[in-house]
Structure 1
């Protein structure tokens, strides 16, 4: 199988392409016992929701497995390339056998087909999707080729891959569903040193995505520091304080004010006398 056919069309290419009457293990599609089928070493989908699996099992119990699993020979057994969710649901439904399409595939072809088949179904979690893209990049593809293979824009691939740069705590939160992909992108919009802080804010304050996005405008905002007077004025402040026996503050540079504190009428009279003014009765 050429890379173009496997990457460009995924599992549909294998199912729709005319097949020879015999494959390496017999007819093109055949029934195989579920206990002779094993999981692949790499599975893009890490989470199988029990409720969704039970729902699929109910459908399979009623209508059977409508689309065969794609498998490859592994000794006496068969390794799943695509269709692990159907295989799990079929076991829940009590099926002894499932229809399979058997193909002799190399490790790289099997990996690429497994990833792309899952990506084309568009029901992976955000981290599962990002890791699947990264696995394809690890196989030597570039982002443009990955985008073409899964029928998505390159920016979609790039944005998904950025999720893998989240802090470890945020990765765990995203994987557990404690935050959404939108929350994760809001965290990534923060300066690197503020990302763990942003995650804590989202969790403790139960922020929605829009509120989380607003954190990037307020995270590093602090009240303006008071302007200290130039050093010469500070010396004058000290000198006047010693002379008057009260606190003196000078604000501004070219223009400003001089403030003297007093606690009573008597203290004000004393200060005025020191400055050469006689208090009026």
Structure 2
């Protein structure tokens, strides 16, 4: 089935991942819904396996399978059969799904006893790459499922650039997806549940770390769209600290004490080389007493 020109190829492509010298080249195994003729199935190495010998994918990035869509696919399988073989790899005494878990689940609902499969001996990393590519081509992965899939690839030895090349995405796309995993727990749950979008999540991450839960609360309570969430700025009162009063040095402090005792009133000296002396009085009688101490009365008399 020819590929749509609007759909870019992803990473190294499934052909490159699945091609083996001892096995035919597999095309369209990531999401194509064409029905294969028996000669074409034989050419591509399609076999029938009992359903009970096929087990769930260990590296399935997609965690959410919508029940209604599964039921519809199960009904289609009852009427038309499985149009596209599953890709599996040997695992113990059975076979593990690499691509096609949704078809496997729907087949169980439909009561199918045998599954058409293509068997390939794949490493863990190859299996994960194929599973991610299949889901990305079908646009089935949620933002956190995609981010966790990229993280798993990195745990298998790839850096961000390697992940980007493997799945045919830009490095910045991979980096932005991985950043979602640093959201606060409440925001992760909201994104997983579809309460907020990936755009909302990135707006939350743009906030200072201490304001991220506040931003999530604002988005929920006010039903903000992404643009409004990006414009959120937490208002903070600017607290101007009170000026610290620094007492200037008092070089004549002891002299002030001595004069206060001698005159019987408070004496204050300001300045050093230049300044003034202040004497306090509380009545006319006290003023006259101080003037007398200073010799003013004697000069007048």
What's the TM-score once normalised by structure 2's chain length? 0.65
Q: 1:186 aligns with which of 189, 196, 203?
A: 203
> In the alignment, does 2:113 pair up with 1:99?
no
Please name the residue that 1:50 is paired with: 67
> What SS class does the counterpart of residue 91 from structure 1 fall into?
helix
Task: Provide structure 1 residue ranges, at least 5 long, that are not aligned to the other structure.
Answer: 1-5, 21-26, 233-281
Kindly tell me: are residues 11 and 50 of structure 1, through their superposed partners in 2, closer, same or farther at Cα, counting changes over 3 Å? farther
Deviation of the 1:39 alpha carbon = 1.0
Deviation of the 1:61 alpha carbon = 2.5
* Deviation digits for residues 171-193 of structure 1 (CA, Å, limit 9, x no counterpart): 11111111111110110010011
Q: Considering only CA atoms, is the larger Rg found in Structure 1 or Structure 2?
A: 2
Deviation of the 1:14 alpha carbon = 3.1
User: Where in structure 2 are the equivalents of 1:14-93 lying within 5 Å?
Assistant: 14=18, 19=24, 28-93=45-110
Q: 1:9 aligns with which of 13, 16, 34?
A: 13
> What SS class does the counterpart of residue 88 from structure 1 fall into?
helix
Deviation of the 1:96 alpha carbon = 1.6
Deviation of the 1:170 alpha carbon = 0.8
Please name the residue that 2:231 is paired with: 214
Q: 2:104 and 2:76 mapped to 1: Cα distance?
A: 13
User: Where in structure 2 are the equivalents of 1:122-137 lying within 5 Å?
Assistant: 122-137=139-154
What's the TM-score once normalised by structure 1's chain length? 0.69
Q: 1:45 and 1:226 mapped to 2: Cα distance?
A: 52
Q: 1:12 and 1:74 mapped to 2: Cα distance?
A: 22
For the 8 Å contact 1:115–1:132, the answer to whether it is kept is yes
> What SS class does the counterpart of residue 161 from structure 1 fall into?
helix
User: Where in structure 2 are the equivalents of 1:93-242 lying within 5 Å?
Assistant: 93-215=110-232, 218-219=233-234, 221-222=235-236
Q: 1:118 and 1:229 mapped to 2: Cα distance?
A: 62
* Deviation digits for residues 52-78 of structure 1 (CA, Å, limit 9, x no counterpart): 212222332332222111111223321
CA-based RMSD of the aligned residues comes to 2.9
Task: Provide structure 2 residue ranges, at least 5 long, that are not aligned to the other structure.
Answer: 1-9, 26-43, 247-301
For the 8 Å contact 1:120–1:150, the answer to whether it is kept is no
Instruction: Provide the aligned length of Structure 1 versus Structure 2.
Output: 218
Please name the residue that 1:243 is paired with: none
Q: 1:67 and 1:121 mapped to 2: Cα distance?
A: 14
Q: 1:62 and 1:133 mapped to 2: Cα distance?
A: 37
Q: 1:198 and 1:222 mapped to 2: Cα distance?
A: 14
Question: Per residue, is there more helix in 1 or in 2?
Answer: 1
Deviation of the 1:13 alpha carbon = 5.5
For the 8 Å contact 1:167–1:195, the answer to whether it is kept is yes
Please name the residue that 2:289 is paired with: none
Q: 1:230 and 1:197 mapped to 2: Cα distance?
A: 34
